Structure formats: structure tokens, C-alpha cells
Amino acid sequence: MLDNYNDYILPTYAHQEIAFEKGDNATVYDKNGNNYIDFTSGIGVASVGHGNKALSEAICTQASKLLHMSNLYYTEPQQRCAESIVRLSGFDMKCFFANSGAEANEGAIKIARKFGEVDGEVKRYKIVTLKHSFHGRTITALKATGQESMHNYFGPYPDGFVYADTIEQIETLIDSHTVAVMIELVQGEGGVEPLEREKVHSLASMLKEKEILLIVDEVQTGIYRTGEFLASNLYGITPDVITLAKGLGGGVPIGVVMSAKKDIFSPGDHGSTFGGNYLSTAAANTVLALLEKEKTSGQLDRTIHYFQEKRDAFFDKHQQHFSKCVGSGLMLGIRCKSDELLAALIKSAAICGVLVLKAGRSTLRFLPPLSITTQEIDEGFERLDKAVTAL
């Protein structure tokens, strides 16, 4: 299939040999007409499912009027999008629009660095992040990522990032140059690992006391992925800066930095050609409207409950391969006893017609569309059952 693919595409991914053609909610179809249950939503992006009618209509309607005019002018759907995000989050913040998670994190880091420049007598620039974190692929976001294996080849990197082994260790790494701490509340790539609530609360109050910014990378956890609009809402904390991306555009690239420091940037400090344009914010507005309804109607909570029960039953049945269940909301995982087993299971699953992801710490990861139906969940786990049996 697609014999010439690797003649043209740089080999940065170990991709599976499947090419999809269309989708319907959590079911996708390849070019040979095979169907797959999608427990990945394109790594947490297709939050309202594939082929979503309301989303495709909103995109088409907007495309027929204006796609892009730049941030040199007002962009009305961008304002509405920021209003919705602020309202749904419940936080007193302002938004900056970018195009991806890494770029949103770059914006967050710039906010922290500028805050460290203008606030206090010594310049503060150090940012503490956690081991096993993932913050993106640009040089700075990569350096912010607490995984040594990702810091090969691309140096010199920007200075000022230090890594804590655990959330408790963060305080010991803080000195007079520390300006921010950046965390994921549920580490996604690092193994679908939720931080402990009490520890997050003590971290948040310690940082408040020291006037150090708390940046929460919600690129994966945001937009209802953990069951609340933001994982910060789920944990009941009020960060200073929050980043969003994956699920917000339903497949259209978009990233956001939310900042409680509303006056931190002046014109010229930051910018983006594409960020927050008509296309991406019209899409995001529809995604937000659909998901808000899904949440307030109780449907999202029912889906989460159903999916988790199925996941738990699957885990119980195949305990010889697995060690524990992890995750939150529809950001779920099962720890496998080995990486080899995990790789084999992902392959076998695709052959049996269900798509699943891997994450760090040998984790089988599920990030289904938030709109997945009970029938799709049933079918997906039935196929996953076959995939395990076929190992």
C-alpha cells in the first residue's frame, strides 16, 4: 500500500501500513473498505468524532466567506472562541491563539520569561518540569520535556529547564532564579499518569506563596478529555497559565495560551501568522458548543463511565499481560508487562479492527472521540479481546 510513501516523507514516524479514507464518529474506513473502531481520535484530536456534520458545515460555511485575514485586524470568531474558553474554564484569563501544542507551550514559556524579566530584582528564568513529561517538539518545548532521550542531537538548547523526579521534589529545585513550574496534571505521553490531587494542591499553594507561576500544559488533558472542561477544573486548582491544543479544533490545527497575567505582553512581544484565524476558530467554536452540550446533558459522564467499566473488565480478563489501569475521564491506559507485548498488541489490534495507542511506561493508551457511542465501545473492546487472544 502506498509504495512510494517513504520516497517522499521523512521517516520521523514508525507508522502502521494503513491509509484511511473516511470516518463516521469513532469508526474509520481504510482504502480497502475495512472498518476500524478508533480508540485514538488521532491522538486526542478528533474530539467530536470523524465526519461530524455540524463541524464540517461550520468549516464549509466559514471557508466560503473568509479563511484568513491575519491578526492585524479583529477576527470575530477568535473573540467568541476566547470568550467561550474563558467562560467554560471559569478562570479570569486572556487568550493567545497559536497553531499547535508545542507552539502554545512556547507562548507559555515566553509569558513566564517575560514575567521573570519585569517582576522582582533579579531576572528569573528557570522553569521546573517533571520527569516523564511531554511538552512538544520545537527546540524549547523539547528542552522543557523531562525525558533525556529526547535531548540528543539538537543542541545547543535554551538554558533554564530543570527536571524534578517527582512532584514533591519540585520545591527542592526552586531557587531565586525560578520563575515557573510547568506540569501536565495527567501525563499523557509519559504513561497516562495522573498526578495526586493533594500533592498538586500543596504544589499550587507553595508556588503562590513564592510568586512562582504555575503553568499547566493541558494540550492533551484540556477540552473535556478528563471529564471536566479542563483537568485544572477537575483538580480544583487555579493555574497562572494554561495551554490547550489537541481536542479544541476537532482536527483543525489550533493552540491556545491562557494567561492570568493579562498585561504581560505588549504589541510585538508575540505573534502568529495563522494563529486564531477564521478557519480554526470557527471550527473550535463548533467543537466547544457540541462538547458543552455533551457535558451538560450528562452524556459525556455516561460515556466515560461506560468506557471505564469496559476497560476495567478487559483488564480483569487479561491480567496475565497487564499490571494496572491508569488515567482519567476518556484519557485512559493499561500498563503492560513489557514493551514487546504492547507493540505486538497494538499491531494485533489494528489487524482485528481497533486502533489503540502506546504511551510511556509500557502503557496501552485509549483516547477515543468524546462522542464515541456505547455500540462503538462494545465493538472496540470485543475486537481488542480478539487481538489479545491472537497474541
Ligand X SMILES: *Cc1c(COP(=O)(O)O)cnc(C)c1O
Point out which residues bind ligand X (CB under 6 A).
Answer: 100-102, 105, 134-137, 184, 188-189, 217, 219-220, 245-246
* CA dihedral sign of residues 70, 75, 77, 83: positive
**8 Å CB contact between 143 and 79:** no
Determine the residue type at 207. Answer: L
Nearer to ligand X, 191 or 353 (CB): 191
- Please give the DSSP secondary-structure letter assigned to residue 82: H
Residue 290 CB, shortest distance to ligand X, in Å, is: 21
Q: With respect to ligand X, which residue has the nearer C-beta, 78 or 129?
A: 129
Name which of 38 and 189 has its Cβ closer to ligand X. 189
Contact indicator for 111, 100 with CB cutoff of 8 Å: no
Residue 212 to residue 303: CA distance in whole angstroms: 38
| Residue 192, C-alpha cell as written in the block | 497516562
CB of 391 to ligand X, least distance (A): 28
Task: For ligand X, give the closer residue by CB, 281 or 348.
Answer: 281
Name the minimum Å distance from CB 200 to ligand X.
15
The smaller minimum CB distance to ligand X, of residues 124 and 132, is found at 132
Rank residues 135 and 335 by Cβ distance to ligand X and give the closer one: 135
Instruction: Identify which of 218, 232, 48, 251 has the alpha carbon closest to the alpha carbon of residue 134.
Output: 218
CB of 88 to ligand X, least distance (A): 19
Count other C-beta atoms under 10 Å from residue 25's C-beta: 20
* Residue pointed to by grid coordinates 510568586: 211
Burial class (CB in 10 A: 0-12, 13-18, 19+), 29: middle
Whole-number minimum distance, CB 25 to ligand X, in Å?
22
108 vs 387, beta carbon nearer ligand X: 108
Backbone CA torsion sign across 342, 346, 347, 352: positive
In contact, 254 and 104? CB cutoff 8 Å:
no
Q: Residue of minimal CB distance from ligand X?
A: 101
Q: How far is the CB of 273 from ligand X (least distance, A)?
A: 16
Q: How far is the CB of 20 from ligand X (least distance, A)?
A: 19
Task: Calculate helix-pair angle for 278-296, 299-317, nearest 10 degrees.
Answer: 80
